[in-house]
Amino acid sequence: MKIKTEDMENKRISSLKEFYPLYLQEHSNSISRILHFIGTSLVLLLIPAALLFHDLRLLILIPFVGYGFAWVGHFFFEKNKPATFKYPAYSLASDFILFWDLLSGKEKF
């Protein structure tokens, strides 16, 4: 069953299990998925880099890198509004779930 974006805006989603299928629909463009994957990869590299190089200033880059790549995907390729604005926690969790699903081959780019 395809969930419409309007349904997400009109109905309050109350679980990650309920949110993730909608998240996948809103991330169906392959270029957008690639951009999300790159952004999440860089975020995951920034954390150990900050610790390894003893430079916690690198952590400041995390939201810019993560959201920067993702929002380019949304605004220019998906042509939709990121769910981060209404569901920040579910959206963040779903970014990492999608990252793992792409990495493991469960989802395709």
* pLDDT for 7 beyond 60: no
Confidence tier at 20 by pLDDT (50, 70, 90):
very high
CA distance readout (Å), 62 to 14, 24, 81: 27, 23, 20
Question: What does the chain come to in residues?
Answer: 109
**pLDDT of the residue at 11:** 77
pTM, whole model, 2 decimals? 0.87
**pLDDT of the residue at 100:** 98
Q: What is the per-residue pLDDT across 22-65, written as a single tens digit (0 to 9) for each?
A: 999 999 999 999 999 999 999 999 999 999 999 999 999 999 99
* Spans of all domains in the chain: 18-104
Q: What is the per-residue pLDDT across 81-99, written as a single tens digit (0 to 9) for each?
A: 999 989 999 999 999 999 9
**pLDDT of the residue at 102:** 98
For the beta carbon of residue 100, count every other beta carbon within 10 angstroms.
12
